[in-house]
Amino acid sequence: MKNKVVIYSLLIFLLGNVFQLASQSIRTGPPKPPMGKRWVLNTDFSDEFNGTALDSNKWLDHHPTWIGRPPGLFMSSQVSIKDGFLQIKGEKMEKDTIVHAYGKDIVFNIKGGAVVSKNTAFLGYYECRVKAAATTMSTTFWFSGKGGEGPNSCDNYSQEWDIQECIGRAGDFEGRYFASGMHSNAHYWYTDCSGEKFDHRAAQVKFEDEDLASEDFHVYGGWWRDKTSASYYYDNREPKHQKFYNKVSDKPMDKPMYMRLVCETYPFPWISLPTDEELADPAKNTVYYDWVRGYELVDAKEPTVLNQGEIIDIYDESIIFDNADIELSNSKSLKLPLSYKANEDREIQFTLLDKNDKKVAELKFIAFAGYANLNVEFNLEEKLDSGTSYKLVGIMKPINDFKTSIIDTSHLIINPSN
């Protein structure tokens, strides 16, 4: 038979700061991980853009295999790091430029830009905070890769995963809905054995919004869950989910891909080309990426190492009990499912007290940096008494910092009952 442990409340205080159970601000960071797992920052795909130049260890300031969609040419001159942002500017060229590429001469007269990761990503959660340019040039956050040989040996494929594609200004054209909200796509670019090419797409995921994407910053996130599916996150909205196109391969997104942050021209007349006036206006022609972050799943108790310069305040650090009820087995142990968020390695200490404030059990463990979802277990000398109230005191603190003054900890009251 099982007893039921009822959790009434928990609030953690650390170094005099209150770490609340919920926040009213725009959600950042990954969704709750699966039980036994922890999200950790993937620094290859994370950048706060707080320097004075693009980090050449992580990024290219151009697209290595694509020069842009005419009439928009990708140019490194349009990419800069300034005022804490990655900025990509769209501008009109002084005169037409002819570029010989892909076996032909192509005319360009608009300048755009692309930033591409040097490393390939595979699975994980990826998000960015960005304010779109107020033009009809794109503001995008996406991934693509070469793919490989198809299932029939004589065919081949490549992949594209678009977390967000938008423009910042509406108009009288078919794609005007791209000016607001979030638009997520997944492409399986397939060439069959006869050489015929196909763009196989999953059903598009959309988040509607009345405001233009250029009016403010928004957080766009995508969880590449596995080779068959993804989930998408827009500000504080509930997530939406997508199954990848699987008529050719049952695991279509099975290869690593490069991250891409791009400002390009879209096909006309689906979306109108930007006007000369808006391209000349510095208040309209620039995309502002505040930050971009990648996360990967590891075992909750697996140590990971972040260098001091890679530690950033992603989370409101906290210990979270999600369920009002916890099942307590009729044994000398107390299992507590919980999650925590920590920007760097911390120590968590729980003390279980009886109604006379006598210590019944104590548990300490290292909470490795990240967002974890796990079970912790108290070993008890005796079973908890039915009908008796207990309280659980929780503290999160810096590791080996015995002088830290904890202002207070609220008490988690538990009442075992048959």
For 262-318, write each residue's pLDDT tens digit.
999 999 999 999 999 999 999 999 999 999 999 999 999 999 888 877 888 999 888
Active site residues: 160, 165
How far apart are alpha carbons 36 and 310 in whole angstroms? 24
Residue 346 has pLDDT above 80, yes or no: yes
Q: Please tell me the predicted confidence (pLDDT) of residue 24.
A: 44
Q: Please, which pLDDT band fits residue 416 given cuts at 50, 70 and 90?
A: low
Provide the mean pLDDT of the chain.
Answer: 89
Over residues 6-30, mean pLDDT: 47
How far apart are alpha carbons 217 and 89 in whole angstroms? 16
Q: Please tell me the predicted confidence (pLDDT) of residue 15.
A: 33
Q: Nearest CA to 354 among 380, 328, 336, 320?
A: 380
Q: Please tell me the predicted confidence (pLDDT) of residue 308.
A: 76
Least confident residue range of 18-27, 140-149, 323-332: 18-27
Higher-pLDDT residue of 391, 295: 295
Q: Please, which pLDDT band fits residue 381 given cuts at 50, 70 and 90?
A: confident
Higher-pLDDT residue of 322, 231: 231
pTM: 0.91
Q: Within a 10 A sphere around the Cβ of 387, how many other Cβ atoms?
A: 9
Q: Please tell me the predicted confidence (pLDDT) of residue 222.
A: 98
136: its two tokens? 């009809």
Q: What is the pLDDT of residues 360-375, one digit of tens each?
A: 899 999 999 999 999 9
CA distances from 258 to 69, 96, 144 (A): 19, 31, 6
Q: Please, which pLDDT band fits residue 324 given cuts at 50, 70 and 90?
A: low
Where do runs of H (alpha helix) occur along 154-291?
Answer: 276-279
Q: Please tell me the predicted confidence (pLDDT) of residue 21.
A: 33
Q: Please tell me the predicted confidence (pLDDT) of residue 323.
A: 62
How far apart are alpha carbons 218 and 289 in whole angstroms? 10
Question: What are 403-409's contacts with CB under 8 Å, separation 24+?
Answer: 404/15, 405/15, 405/16, 406/13, 406/14, 406/15, 407/13, 407/16, 408/13, 409/11, 409/12, 409/13
CA distances from 381 to 332, 342, 359 (A): 6, 31, 11
Q: Which residue segments constitute the domains of the chain, with CATH numbers given? A: 2-23+316-414 (2.60.40.2550), 39-299 (2.60.120.200)
Higher-pLDDT residue of 414, 87: 87
Tokens 């005022």 appear where? 83
